[in-house]
Structure 1
Amino acid sequence: MLETELRKVHFIGIGGIGMSALAHYFISKNINVSGYDKIKSEITQSLEIKGAKIFYEDNLNAIESINNIDLVIYTPAIGEDNNQLKYFSKHSIPLLKRSDVLGDISRLFKTIAVAGTHGKTTTSSIVAHILRTSNQDGVCFIGGISSNYNSNFLLGKGVLSVMEADEYDRSFLKLSPHSIVLTSMDADHLDIYNDKETLQSSFYNFTELLENKKKLIVEEGLKNLFKNNLTYGFNSESNLQILNIKILDNCYQFDIKYRNKIYNNFSFKMPGKYNLLNAAGAVLSCLENEINMDDIRSALHSYKGVKRRFDIHVENSEIVYIDDYAHHPSEISALLNAVKEFYPNKITIGLFQPHLYSRTRDFLQDFSSSLSSLDELFLLPIYPAREKPIEGINSSLLLSKVPLLKKQIISSENDLFSQLDSKNSFVLLTIGAGNIDEWVPSIIDYINKR
């Protein structure tokens, strides 16, 4: 892919978080962008403001100057019955997956690739913020909307890049990483990998893409699975250690030990030990790419998080409302541990929307265990995303497995509000990777009017 030869790029599925960041990239290169998505959203509207021509029906007639398109980019989430995908598959216009294009761009920079079944978005957004505030950013592709920049894409004049290395569909094998941060390798995407061993094998193959194997940075719990890697975490044996942790004014205060020297007075606003681990991985990757520790300290202090990652919308003496993207049992457990660490005196009420029939089936007992840490559970129907229903797999089955006395399935916002009317002093969580975030404005309005 030669950017200098491109005049017009068309996206099929432009509203996705990864696809939209790519669209912003091509717009920044003064290349005409058009695209299709099923749903108009804040993401697509932000692209339209920048000049992208976007339509919301799968109609070829909606594409302006279709014969002038030089490249078509699509996401695996698009079904084979898509009219545009079928049309471009039969014509001579280059048709590439998002991962192919991201791989080409990764070769233009010293790319820090953030991989793992959990923590990619937060870690990559911290790296992006450090690079931006230290004026070292070349291009940053973030798998969520950074609260610091209200964007999933940053473009600077530096030579360093950060990208999320997505294991789904083995997309990360298309990248050319200069260094890798590996946050986790829990079982997930078993619809693709079948078992945890196959998933881990794919991660091993990804790490083999490094020319310099000493640029592999892994969370300390993974250190025995690799050779010649750097580690980060809370243990003194790690190459970067977070220590002397305190919580003051709802903020972590801690020190960092790196290369046998202790650096003091770091602060970080994101709750949860898992977020401290994400920060540690980001810090180590930036240090190994010669970013100054003082710049890193300043960036951590000013980091505001990512939308839908422990996203606090209401916080007062009676009620705290947090929206979170957690959709895997391990993520839910980490989220609930963080809530109880920061709000130990409040009951925790969770509204969970399971994501994918296959994930619900594959991790049914694990979901039951993680959700049991709630004081009260409300379940929504399973969000199918790309999947068709699986017989016998539904929210009723999951609800029956969760060992809580206070639990029920609901279908509307009013169902939730009627249950909350009589409650005081609680943390409310909306949890899931589907469209549960569409409830957020109504919930905020309900709480503010109580």
Structure 2
Amino acid sequence: MKECGTVADLLAGKKVFCIGIKGTGMASLAIMMKNAGACVCGCDTAEVFMTDAILESHGLSSLKGFSADLLPSSIDIVVHSSAWTDENCPVLRRARSEVPSVWSYPGMLACLSRSTRMYAVAGTHGKTTTTGCAAWLLSLPSRRSFPFFSVFGSAVRVMGEDLPGKEPPLCGPWQGDECAVVEACEYKDHFLDYRVRGALVTSVDFDHPDFFPDHKAVEKTFRRFVLGIQPGGFLLCCTDDSGARALAAYARRHRPDLMVHGYGFASGGIFSLRDVLPHGNSSLSGGHEYRMKLFGDRVFSSRLHGRALVGDVVGGSLLAAFMVLDRPHPDLYLDEDALITDEVLPTVVGTLLRDAQRYPGCLGRTEEEFTSSDDIIFMDDYAHHPAEIRASLDSLRRKYPQRRLVVAFSPHTASRTRAFLDDFARELGKCDFLVIQGTYASARGDADRDNDGARMLCEKIASRKSGERSAGACLPVFAPDEGEAIKILAQWLMSGDLCITMGAGNNREMSRKVLLARGTGSLS
């Protein structure tokens, strides 16, 4: 791969066209490139996604479709989602013959990694929340001069006390190109092409069965990722996950030049955590309180509930601290009233963990959208793997113990649904009321013919729950289309319920449609 020069040199003043600009990672990359001084436009399907509003808030829009005539003249760089290929995308075929630089999304990140000091957040689950936390912390006013940029698959929610006025959600931030923190995906071994100075791994679990044949194949690619970290770099691993814990042990054996640290509730090191209240129950203040061994009895809290999300917040804080300190002459970016101890690391980590107590989380990650006037909370959650569903439902049960969980789940890719059918059934069976929607037809082409997989999942859950009906459990219902799902939810919902649109499909916008269909209650 050719060298790119500096990132600013690569992007400033260039005309960039993004194919598949509404993808979560692509939208973040497009906004970052615009913030870096590029003139950015793009195209995508006419379907409305969460990213439409994010792009619009940053002054970007999308042309509809993928026809060849959408390519503007005098384009310098084309970046395309890896879901689109020459075979299924006419505008990409044309770009190959007319544009000097054409990159896939992961290829562009790989190019950028050769022009900056890149830090990567990898892992099967929790990458986006963790990367978003690190980027948010480094973007706060006290660190606004820290020269970094970031690309991750969502945007950080706007909280009034954090970003006053009508500023858009944090997505694709650019404060300079000395270093970068990016979300690095293992799918199709994409992250193996990145030149990484330091990395954080949240988890190593079996996913993407359309590419990885089994868990061992996933482990192998993460080991290759660790072997590719630059000499003298660092690796942070969440030891609450057995796969990440094993990866840390592997790194200590095979990469003695790396600084390797574990963190989490199962860690025994200086970054080990313990709950203030038993079982991670929330305090009266509404947050999840915890202690870190490095700070003794000092109590920290998180707006995000559940150990998995707290681990993501702590991981993002640690990564931000390591990035700040991994410079020849680091500026600690401390507030004037910060107490500087003899040890620099505790000072920086403690300041970041304190700031992280206000981290609002990312859009679409256990996100509370609104509460109706008759006290129904509507939420959206990206969980699309059994382990993620388990973590999300556990968190919601703890935060809302008195509410019924009413879930509309949109399976994502037929291969994933079939590979983890029993695991999906076990975790989704914990909902009080459940609608299974048709499998979302992603651009990958991993479609579910006649929704066979989604129907099988519904039948599997019904079989598991049939013996619970006497206890008030409701059997799941399959909804072949959005209209039917809305109708069912509108009939089920009652005051005091928690309604969650869940999955990596595009069912987020159903919440407002369900509210309208009920005919009672309104936005409060």
Q: TM-score, normalised by structure 2?
A: 0.79
Alignment partners' CA distance in 2, 1:62 and 1:153: 25
Alignment partners' CA distance in 2, 1:102 and 1:269: 31
Which amino acid in the other structure matches residue 139 of structure 1?
F
Match of 1:245 in 2: 276
1:131 matched to 2:138: yes
Match of 2:225 in 1: 206
Q: 1:56 aligns with which of 52, 64, 88?
A: 64
Q: Describe the SS at the equivalent of 1:25.
A: helix
Task: Give the conservation status (yes or no) of the 8 Å contact 1:241–1:280.
Answer: no
Post-superposition offset of 1:81: 2.2
Task: Give the conservation status (yes or no) of the 8 Å contact 1:380–1:395.
Answer: yes
| Count of matched residue pairs | 445
Which amino acid in the other structure matches residue 492 of structure 2?
L
Q: 1:175 aligns with which of 189, 194, 218?
A: 194
Q: 1:147 aligns with which of 140, 157, 179?
A: 157
Alignment partners' CA distance in 1, 2:88 and 2:95: 12
Q: 1:223 aligns with which of 245, 248, 251?
A: 245
Match of 1:308 in 2: 364
Post-superposition offset of 1:342: 1.5
Post-superposition offset of 1:319: 3.1
Match of 2:454 in 1: 395
Task: Give the conservation status (yes or no) of the 8 Å contact 2:265–2:273.
Answer: yes
Residues 332-373 of structure 1, C-alpha deviations (whole Å, 9 max, x = no match): 111111111122222222111111111111111110111111
Post-superposition offset of 1:88: 2.5
Which amino acid in the other structure matches residue 105 of structure 1?
L
Q: Describe the SS at the equivalent of 2:173.
A: strand
Q: Of Structure 1 and Structure 2, which has the larger fraction of its residues in strand?
A: 1
Residues 86-132 of structure 1, C-alpha deviations (whole Å, 9 max, x = no match): 22234463221111211222334332210001000000111112212
Residues 162-185 of structure 1, C-alpha deviations (whole Å, 9 max, x = no match): 100111121111212221110111
Task: Give the conservation status (yes or no) of the 8 Å contact 2:409–2:437.
Answer: yes
The alignment yields a C-alpha RMSD, in angstroms, of 2.5
Match of 1:366 in 2: 423
Match of 1:449 in 2: 522
Match of 2:335 in 1: none
1:244-393 mapped onto 2 (5 Å cutoff): 244-246=275-277, 247-248=282-283, 249-258=285-294, 261-262=295-296, 264-289=298-323, 290=325, 292-314=348-370, 318-385=375-442, 386=444, 387-390=446-449, 393=452
Decide whether aligned partners of structure 1 residues 151 and 187 sit closer, same or farther in structure 2, where only a CA change above 3 A counts.
same
Q: 2:181 aligns with which of 152, 162, 183?
A: 162
1:9 matched to 2:33: no
Query: Percent sequence identity over matched residues?
Result: 25
Moved more, 112-121 or 320-329: 320-329
Alignment partners' CA distance in 1, 2:178 and 2:37: 20
Task: Give the conservation status (yes or no) of the 8 Å contact 2:486–2:510.
Answer: no
Alignment partners' CA distance in 2, 1:187 and 1:36: 32
Which amino acid in the other structure matches residue 105 of structure 2?
R
Post-superposition offset of 1:433: 0.6
Q: 1:31 aligns with which of 38, 47, 64?
A: 38
1:77 matched to 2:108: no
Task: Give the conservation status (yes or no) of the 8 Å contact 1:361–1:393.
Answer: no
Alignment partners' CA distance in 2, 1:51 and 1:322: 27
Match of 2:342 in 1: none
